[in-house]
A and B are shown apart, each in its own frame.
Chain A
Amino acid sequence: MGSRKRILIVDDEQDVLTYLSTLLQDHGYDTLLAKDGEEALRQVEFNLPDLVTLDISMPEKSGIKFYREMKAIDRWKQIPVIIVTGISEDFKKFISTRHRVPPPEGYLTKPINQEEILGLVKKFTS
């Protein structure tokens, strides 16, 4: 078995962070946590994750801003991103504001289906 994959979980809800990190750790992943876009960028910079699960509506720097900034940097743009959000409106906004950035690898709406998120994480990290 190779080294454990590192997943960065970005969400402003502490309970969601606890949930996803426990779930992913139970399934053999290492997890990094960030409560907003600013923190997420720092995590990407210092801990280079293999995949990011990203909430969109967050105070300070939103998920959209973080996504655009991360995907604009060559050494980070290959990191797969799964959007995990509460309202489909968020995604519409996301689509309409992304210019010259690739679409996210996955898109899930809350409440999350465990098999679905585990399936996507596995797919994009193997």
Chain B
Amino acid sequence: MEQPYKHYFEVMPAYLTILDRDLRIIEANRRFRKDFGDYEGRYCYEVNRHRAERCEHCPAERTFRDGQRHGIEEQFKNLSGQEVSLIVYTTPIRNEAGEITAVMKMATDITEIKLLQNQLRESRERYRQLFEEVPCYISIQDRDLWIIEANRRFREDFGDFLGRKCYQLYMHRSEECSPCAVKQTFQDGQVHQTEEVVTSKNGKQVDVLVYTAPIRDAEGQIKSVMEMGTNITQIRQLQSQLTDLGLVISSISHGIKGLLTSLDGGIYLVNSGLEKNNRERVKQGWQMVERNVARIKTMVLDLLYYAKDREPNLEWIPAQSLAEEVFGLMRGKAQELGIDFQCHFEPSAGDLAADAKAIRSLLVNLIENALDACRVDKKKRVHQVRIGLKGYPEYVEFEVSDNGIGMDQETRERAFSLFFSSKVGDGTGLGLFISNKIVQAHGGGIRLESELNKGTRVTVRLPRKGPASRPALPKPL
């Protein structure tokens, strides 16, 4: 080798070797000698890989064969036995006649790059795992609200997201929500928070606390938004029990104030009767005291009903007279609103084992909802609310239908959730929630059918003999 080239060959920051046709190393540079030691008279595969035989895919052999340059990634073992990752290139060296006399092999150490690549892959996998396994729903959405990525929890509960928009999959709606937290984040780049009731693929209602955060590209532009939803159904259930209790306590406190006034009255009549020696007044006062003590007793029992999940107080009641009683109770209100109020009760509906008080308030609530739905509907001239009762061998079915304002799918799905009310500013969001609870406590079922602008039908089916979990109530003779 000519002197200047020899120098370059020596100082190259790569492993340089020259091999003969037998793959013997005939020349090696300084770096190679330093890391791989003595080479003279030894074969390439012996020095590089500590092997006794040729390698399977030897690039030098191929270069000898076809005269082309070849590249391959290989692992060498250096003097200290350490594995080194290398990228190897082989080039033919020709004589004046153009014949290949030797091959130059240049190997560059890529151990560091390999290490970084591995770290990067591991880190990606870790984040992927975190994204997949985090116990909340995560979806990534583009500007048009198409879901472009979703984690395992999301896919499991809401199904395949490809080709679906957030509001279609989450809310079963045909139009986007207003306001939409994802759109807000696209607009202002800020984190937004909202609370929603969403519907899983098997129709289960889930209360979720939703956060949206921007995902930016290298230039800082928002290219997608991450929506993260935490399931807070259990918290909401707990809250609902507390609200139930709060509501009952407030109504009981109102009632108790009235009762105390009546008790005060009774005591006043007794005392003033005694002073005036008016026996009749004493008697009247004492009756007032007795009556109001009894009412306080009932009220305390009511409080206990809500304080814990009280079993319904079952008694055999004739379904028809219960329905008639409620119908009579609500007729005045329907007339006041100018609503055609009709009943169709099957005389053969028979008796059922139920808590009369609870079923009465359940029916009142359903009828009140139906009347309200008619009251707010300005699109029809004639409104009708119909109460039905049918008897079957095993169960009794009450039906309340109206041709009022009706519900869209979202309202239908959320109707039984706590705090959800479609009556703007009017509803407490408790009525149907409590109705549903009453039906459940009786081991029955409640079905809601509704169409926007057409009307609603609620069907309550109660097992004739009461909840299956309770021993059958003996029927009076």
Contacts and interface: CB of A to CB of B under 8 A. Distances in A.
Contact of B261 (A26, A87, A112): A112
29 contacts: A13-B258, A13-B261, A15-B261, A15-B266, A15-B288, A16-B258, A18-B269, A19-B261, A19-B262, A19-B264, A19-B266, A19-B269, A22-B265, A22-B268, A22-B272, A22-B281, A23-B265, A86-B254, A86-B258, A87-B253, A87-B254, A87-B257, A110-B258, A110-B261, A111-B257, A111-B260, A111-B261, A111-B263, A114-B264
Q: Is the interface of B mostly helix, strand, loop or mixed?
A: helix
A18 B269 CA distance: 9
A23 B268 contact: yes
A109 B261 CA distance: 10
B284 interface: yes
Contacts of B265: 15-16, 18-20, 22-23
Contacts of B288: 15, 18-19
Number of chain B interface residues as a range: 20 to 34
B437 interface: no
Contacts of B292: 15
Interface in B263-309: 263-266, 268-269, 272, 281, 284, 288, 291-292
B261 A16 contact: yes
Nearest to B281: A22
Identify the interface centre among A15, A86, A109, A114: most chain B CB within 10 Å of its CB.
A15
Interface of A: 13, 15-16, 18-20, 22-23, 26, 57, 86-87, 109-112, 114
Contacts of A23: 265, 268
Contacts of B269: 18-19, 22
A25 to B, nearest CB: 10
Contacts of B266: 15, 19
A87 B261 CA distance: 13
A50 to B, nearest CB: 22
